[in-house]
Structure 1
Amino acid sequence: MKKVIIVSPHFPPSNLAAVHRSRLFAKHLPEFGWEPIIVTVDEAYYEEALDPNLVKLLPASLRIEKVAASSTKNIRLIGDIGIRGFRQMLKRILFLCSSEKIDFLYIPIPSNFAALLGPIISRKTGIPYGIDYIDPWVHRWPGTEKKISKAYGSMKLGEWLEPLAVKKVSLITGVAPGYYEAVLERNPHLKNKVVTASMPYGGEAEDHLMVERLGLKPYLFKKEPGTFDFVYAGAMLPKAYKPLEEVLKVLAANLKHFENIRIHFIGSGYSPNDAQSYNIKALASKYGLWESVIFEYPKRIPYLEVLTHLNASDGAFIIGSTEAHYTPSKVYQAVLSQKPVFAVLHQASSACKVIESTGAGLTLTFDGEAGLDKIGKFLLNKWTSFLAFRETFDASQINQKAFDAYSAKNVTSILADALAKAISNKPS
């Protein structure tokens, strides 16, 4: 089997969402002729709360190389794990490359700084490398318009560092094409010289089976007779608040049509370890919906406990971003929960196709910020359709064959094909 080193500074038991990208690739790559070797920072150096149950989802045979990092316990000068563990990861990777045959180096980002390992390793060893864009590296987000700010500084640093990271890259992948297309525009020398591929996060049905095996029970809300509980699981993107506000406006103005509906936002806070870091509360209070229709549990809870609450809900609620490229990974777990899905998404988001092709729910689409008024115009009609949909909904009607295209195994097959093209230097 060919060997690929996957650089994943955070890895289970880290409870950050990005760890699942590397976890699922590592699980399925051996089926396609690749032996993955994870290079990560030891969890003793993580700042976020750990989730020991995540380790139970890893293959017993998976090879994991853990390194030390600079600590933040006494004084926190730098938080980014990619910087704190950079020197140690570099040393370990070079050792692996010198002691055995490594065919490829693959670096999912964030941490964005870890991408700089690629050109260094390639220059020293000749081993080709690839970068996987879980999130865009260089882009504008709220706060970057202020030139004297941390956000602006981070954006400018990214503009300077990204060209160095991708200068000799052999493979660029992303959750969707929109996550890396701008990279090719900014670095035109890469066109026709680099292999590109897009793979969504994908869903893993065995994760839900683990919930059953562990006997996990929901604890954030209790089912009450006559209520319909939606779960929104995960962080809120900065550009998702405007679509959400349009939804809340309609809810507040038409409460009689949304009787007994409760929407639970889980892990949506601005600080993953802070139970008081509310992001939704102020907006819900503005429209008189707080703790009557809208509930928020800001602190990030363990992944399998998120699935537990999804499985205990009556439906999954998904709100998208005004950015066309955004493809919420939560859509795959929502479908696998086998509960009806109600989603408000950018019309270009690939999540729309996931929901529609599987028959798992209904979507209300809009076209960026300019099309937000469509939410207000059509939400009530779409909700009426959803009420009729859920009355007849049965989990057995979900098109599993259609969902197979979004399974973690199928997604990994796309990566394996891209890796093969990259090492043979055959750009697509």
Structure 2
Amino acid sequence: MNHKVLIISPHFPPINAADHQRVRMSLPYMEEFGWEPHILTVLPNYIEGVQDPTLVKTIPPHIPITHTKALSVQQTRRIGMSNLGLRCLPYLLKAGDRLLRQEKFDLIYFSTTVFLTMWLGSIWYQRFRTPYVLDFQDPWLSDYYKQAGTLPPGGRFKYGFAQLQAKLLEPKALSKVAHVISVSPAYPKTLQQRYPYLQSEQFTVLPFGAPEPDFTALSSLNIQQNIFNPNDGKRHWVYVGRGGNDMALAVRSLFLGIQSHRRHHPEIWQSMQLHFVGTSYAPGNLAVKTIEPIAQELGIADLVTEHPHRIPYFEALQVLVDSDAILLIGSDDPDYTASKLYPCILARKPILAIFHHQSSVVDILRRSQAGQAITFTSKQQPRDLISPVITQLNWLLSTDKGFQPNTDWLAFRPYTAREMTQKQCAVFDRCLTTAR
């Protein structure tokens, strides 16, 4: 008989939010490993973001989903409060109370970057004695932007308010936690230093699973991407993912390399176009370009187009598939792990990555032999990387149109969604053993 897990994931299809990915990719395999999932999420019309109805088709139809309301963002923005966590918290609490009274759940699993909702785990543990697991896909309480001296996303006031909430509520959320899952090996160390009562066996590092079924489904969905025309005779290199000040080192290194290479070989770059897609989390007119200004400063603005708005998930996959090469831009934060790596590998295109040498992206890329990685340390400056960037640009420019890397798929297998779900469910099993 399978165990039952209540999954708290406020962002869930059809909203195109990165933090639904772990849940969505594991749902088809959970029952195989002894767990029956029930999703508790927020109704899509209460969430800011790109609607993507196609994602709903990838959810096994028999899995129960409970939707709840939230305060309207149109109303709360007037008082400067658009954060989904604040808007949905009382509704999730009420709905969760009802579900936990009505049904016997063996475990509660929080998989979200709406960190405020993790506080509910300790409340429900006190009320129902149900063990809970927290999945940290990013740090909640963090001094990264203060140490780096860069402007945080959303501005200093909003970020400062979010960090104040984190200082108050992260200790409560972790006070009774059964287990913590993290995409980065660095964050468990930070949490253990911060909360000495947490034991090393309460942590598991688990990257997102590679979305193989999505690429299988892509060809039958007839998705059209509107970023570029793959048949216009040009060569299109793409980056799909967020931008930001913490990625300036990698972006500048790439652009300086292109600037130098074009100075000596201008004819090669006449047919090149670089596209940076979905670089801002901000909705509508609030989205700010962070890539094009650097290209403009370095005199290569004619080669670079930035589309700051997020696009639907399957359209983003189609952008990767239609491209001639994929760029992976890393943060200067060594703990940054890019979940977008796996779709890039599955797109079977040449990959050029520029990442901090401690990032797990570098290791995975090299193990799978799916692309080339340029690495940097925290002490290096963009100009220090011009030479390795030019070397890799020469390699990328030399690949034929339609080139596919000789990826080691056997080495890639441990990163697939099924393998990751098996590890995830093994964590759930351990939580029940510990709880007894």
Matching residue within 193, 196, 206 for 2:203: 196
Question: What whole-Å deviation, never above 9, does each CA across 1:385-418 have from its counterpart, x for those lacking one?
Answer: 4445x34985473221111111111111111111
Q: How many residues are matched?
A: 423
Deviations 1:175-194 (A, max 9, x none): 122233211110111125x5
Q: Structure 1: give runs of 5+ residues left out of the alignment.
A: none
Shift, 1:28, TM fit: 2.2
State the partner residue of 1:321: 331
Distance 1:155 1:227 in 2: 45
Deviation per CA, 1:55-108: give whole Å up to 9, x if none.
111111121111111112344242222221212211222222222221111112
The aligned residue for residue 21 of structure 1 is 22
In structure 2, the partner of 1:398 is 407
Question: Superposed, which structure 2 residues align to 1:264-413 within 5 Å?
Answer: 264-269=275-280, 271-274=282-285, 277-290=288-301, 292-370=302-380, 372-388=382-398, 390-391=399-400, 395=404, 397-413=406-422
Matching of residues 406-425 of structure 1 within 5 Å = 406-425=415-434
Change (3 A) 1:148 1:272: closer
CA distance in 2, matches of 1:274, 1:57: 31
Distance 1:287 1:371 in 2: 15
In 1, Cα distance between equivalents of 2:237 and 2:13: 28
Query: What SS class does the counterpart of residue 410 from structure 1 fall into?
Result: helix
Q: Report the CA distance between 1:278 and its aligned residue.
A: 1.7
Instruction: Give the secondary-structure state (helix, strand or coil) at the position aligned to 2:18.
Output: coil
Which of 131, 136, 149 lines up with 1:133 in the alignment?
136
1:121 aligns with 2:129: no
CA distance, structure 1, for counterparts of residue 156 and residue 85 of structure 2: 24
Identity %: 28
CA distance in 2, matches of 1:392, 1:12: 34
Secondary structure at 1:317 match in 2: strand
> What is the aligned partner in structure 2 of residue 248 from structure 1?
255
Q: C-alpha displacement at 1:280, in angstroms?
A: 1.2
In the other structure, the counterpart of 1:152 is 160
Match of 2:242 in 1: 235
Superposed displacement of residue 298, structure 1: 1.2
- Greater per-residue helix proportion: 2
Aligned 8 A contact 2:10 2:112 in 1: no
Partner of 2:229: 222
Q: Aligned residue for 1:34?
A: 35
Match of 2:91 among 81, 88, 97: 88
Pick which of 333-342 and 195-204 moved more.
Answer: 195-204
CA deviation after TM superposition for structure 1 residue 148, in Å: 7.3
Deviation at 1:340, TM superposition (A): 0.9
Could you report, residue by residue, the CA deviation over 1:289-331 in whole angstroms, capped at 9, with x for unpaired residues?
Answer: 11x2211111111000011111100111001111111111111
Q: What is the alpha-carbon distance in structure 1 between the residues aligned to residue 251 and residue 67 of structure 2?
A: 40
Residue of structure 1 equivalent to 2:169: 161
Q: CA RMSD in A?
A: 2.4
Unaligned ranges ≥5, structure 2: none
- Residues of 1 paired with 2:287 and 2:67: CA distance? 33
TM-score w.r.t. length of structure 2: 0.91
Distance 1:164 1:74, change over 3 A: closer
- Matched residue SS, 1:190: coil
Partner SS for 2:214: helix
- The offset of 1:237, in angstroms, is 4.1
What does residue 7 of structure 2 align with? Answer: 6
- Higher deviation after alignment, 304-313 or 12-21: 12-21
After superposition, residues 35-114 of structure 1 pair within 5 angstroms as: 35-76=36-77, 77=79, 78-114=81-117
Asked whether the 8 Å contact 1:273–1:300 carries over to 2, the reply is: no
